[in-house]
Structure 1
Amino acid sequence: MTAPLAADRVHVRAPGKLNLFFEVGGVQADGYHDVASAYQAVSLYEDVWAQPSDEFTVSIAGSVDVSGVPADDRNLALRAARLLAQRAGYDGGVHLDIRKYVPVAGGMGGGSADAAAALVACDALWGTDVGTGELQRLAARLGADVPFALMGGTAVGTGRGDQLNPALAKGRFDWVIVPSDVGLSTPEVYEHLDLLRKRTGGALAPRDIGVARAPAVDPGVLQALRAGDPVALAERVRNDLQAAALSLRPELRDALELGEHSGALVGMISGSGPTLAFLAADPESALELQVTLSAGGLTALHVHGPVTGARVMGN
């Protein structure tokens, strides 16, 4: 049934994420992979406004190329709104106005942030008040990264990445990210990783994955986060998808080398790529690196983490 609306228009902001550590297990019978990830939410955000409508509609704009973002029922934010309406028994609709700043298909979870923001915005707009736990359960049905976009901060994700446990991170970590004009398909990157592992006889897989244990985050990563130590973190970051992403987009190697030779503590592919993430020692070092990469003809953005998850903003 349709209840009186709790608000006329709701603005929610949700963060993009970086995978500080990403271990990928073997492909399962259902075609998916078990993973272990250390997520950190960073200060590059998606903004979503929700307002009353008889239908479920969406408009999309932003500072990144949004031409490949669907504006129909394939849109993850619209799917999130419909899922909440179904769960709450709400028979009205909503119009979602999405402003995107996280690279599209860039491995930073922009679409997942949109979905998380839509859940929070519609919950506030409709006054459904289903609670944080239920929003997390709905988020997990939408995709592995959506629950983390709700939570924010720093967390360890296992299973398909959606079984989350908060992780303590002291202080601030500064990153310079370099987005790409052309995205990468996450399923394609996973498929290519499986192919590379077959070609190399499993050389790109941890020795005991699938034999003695499930994927797990390196304890050294968690220790570095707890200590607020970017140097120690740089020694432990890892992304099993990086080899596949670089194989599909070999031109990214030049940008990685430029960043690592220009003061970054470490450079890595973010998630399934092709966005690059460079860890800096401090804000000043990050600014210097940003200037150097920009002078080299790259788009470079200085962000920091951890930041909070999806939250209602003042309109």
Structure 2
Amino acid sequence: MSFARHPDAVHVRAPGKINVYLGVGPRHDDGYHALATVFQAVSLYEDVYASASDDFSIAVVGDVDISGVPLDDRNLALRAAKLLAQTAGVTQGVHLDIRKGVPVAGGMGGGSADAAAALVACDALWGTELGPRGLHELAARLGADVPFALHGGTAVGTGRGDVLTPALARGRFDWVLVLSDTGLSTPEVYGRLDKLRMHGEALADDPTELLEVPVAVLQALRAGDATELAPVMMNDLEAAAVVGRPDLELTLADGVRMGALTGIVSGSGPTTAFLCGGPEAARAVQDELKATGREALHVHGPVPGAQIIG
């Protein structure tokens, strides 16, 4: 599928992400969980084209299944455009054309990347000039992963994941992603994690808000050494995702058996991410996984966040 793009449209590209490490604290009374995570932006992208319009509208095509993507105010990119207009006092609208390359409901932040790209595109289209800090503040209001999609690279996220600190990551990390035909609901995965942890006990009224990323994870990233990073990768949501999708456990085992250094569920899943020893090793793992009938992609990171193209 394709769509006609206005010649004056602003084109912004934003990356999907992998959670190299994801520690999840207990659920707070407000429903949120404290997080300590390391994001890495990878070379799988969302493309957003913003063109002038009298009202707000959106169209979506994709290299992935887009059947679950809403085209109303539930769409995070559309909400981002309206929030920016409201904040900056813009009276005109925008039409957003989105080409999705990141799996929908796949745990890789595709919707967040759309929102980040929409903020950057509309800021340029309308000349609102909010700057990085202003856009970050709006991104944080839209969702925990949106600020990272703005910045990209590699970063530590704390709080709800929206308090970002850049992390030094030398060199290139090669990943093989295995996509899934059906997504997983992030709220449902968090809810399942809560149930796994509760064992019939009540939630704490005031669980700690502060978690920390292990030093070993940051040291491995700083060294640019995939063999150091592999044994310290972790995702607290993985157990809950596997309960909902037992096939993921087999996929994780197969990827490692086929030569990956390690495998992990990306975010809330169901995308699985395999860290490999380099480009050649990743291509070999990709080929073997594809031979089993799985949809496997070779990507690398870190890459920049939302950027204007052309």
TM-score range, shorter chain: over 0.9
1:283 aligns with 2:287: no
Which position in structure 2 is the counterpart of 1:105?
A: 105
- Cα distance in structure 1, aligned partners of 2:106 and 2:221: 24
Q: Match for 1:131: what amino acid?
A: G
1:298 equivalent to 2:298? Answer no
Residues 1-315 of structure 1 mapped to structure 2, 5 A cutoff: 8-199=8-199, 210=207, 214-314=210-310
Code of the aligned partner of 1:92? Q
Shift of 1:268: 0.5
Q: Which amino acid aligns with 1:172?
A: R
Partner of 2:3: none
- 1:256-278 CA deviation, whole Å, 9 max, x = no partner? 11101000000010000000000
Q: Counterpart amino acid of 1:256?
A: L
Aligned-residue offset at 1:201:
7.9
**Secondary structure, in 3 states, of the residue corresponding to 1:140?**
helix
Read off the aligned partner of 2:211 and give its amino acid letter. Answer: P
The letter for the 1-side match of 2:190 is: Y
Tell me the TM-score normalised to structure 1 length.
0.93
Distance 1:19 1:200 in 2: 29
**By how many angstroms is 1:128 displaced?**
0.9
In structure 1, list runs of 5 or more residues that go unmatched: 1-6, 203-208
Q: CA deviation at 1:87?
A: 1.2
Tell me which amino acid in the other structure corresponds to 1:170: R
Deviation, 1:8, is 2.5
Q: Secondary structure at the match of 2:232?
A: coil
Point out 4+ residue stretches in structure 1 off by more than 2 angstroms.
199-202
Aligned to 1:3: none
Distance (Å, rounded) in 2 between the aligned partners of 1:72 and 1:218: 40
Are the equivalent residues in 1 in contact too, given 2:27–2:207 (CA < 8 A)?
Answer: no
Give, as a single letter, the amino acid of the residue that structure 1 aligns with 2:254. L
Distance in 2 between residues matched to 1:298 and 1:219, nearest whole Å = 34
Unaligned runs of 5+ in 2: 1-6
Comparing 253-262 with 108-117, greater Cα deviation is found at 253-262
Distance between the aligned counterparts of 2:141 and 2:174, measured in 1? 31
Tell me by how many angstroms 1:239 deviates: 0.1
When structure 1 is superposed on structure 2, of 193-202 and 147-156 the one drifting more is 193-202
Q: Distance in 2 between matches of 1:225 and 1:201?
A: 38
Instruction: Tell me, in whole angstroms, the C-alpha distance in 1 between the residues paired with 2:148 and 2:14.
Output: 10
Q: Distance in 1 between matches of 2:150 and 2:126?
A: 18
**Distance in 2, Cα, partners of 1:274 & 1:200:** 27
Task: Report the CA distance between 1:199 and its aligned residue.
Answer: 2.7
- CA distance in 2 between counterparts of 1:181 and 1:215 reads 33
Equivalent residue of 1:105, what SS? coil
2: CA distance, partners of 1:114 / 1:255: 28
Summarize deviations over 1:252-306 as a string: whole Å, max 9, x none: 1111111010000000100000000000000000000000000011000000000
The change in CA–CA distance for 1:29 and 1:200 in structure 2 (over 3 A counts) is closer
Q: How far is the alpha carbon of 1:214 from its aligned partner?
A: 2.3
CA distance in 1, matches of 2:160, 2:53: 34
**RMSD (Å), alpha carbons:** 1.5
Secondary structure, counterpart of 2:267 in structure 1: coil
Using the TM superposition, give the Cα deviation of residue 215 of structure 1 relative to its aligned residue in structure 2, in angstroms: 1.6
2:4 counterpart residue number = none
C-alpha distance in 1, partners of 2:251/2:163? 33
| CA deviation after TM superposition for structure 1 residue 163, in Å | 0.3
1:228-272 per-position Cα deviation (integer Å, ceiling 9, x unaligned): 000010010000000000011101111111101000000010000
Aligned-pair distance for 1:46? 0.1
Taking the aligned partners of 2:89 and 2:261, their CA distance within structure 1 comes to 50
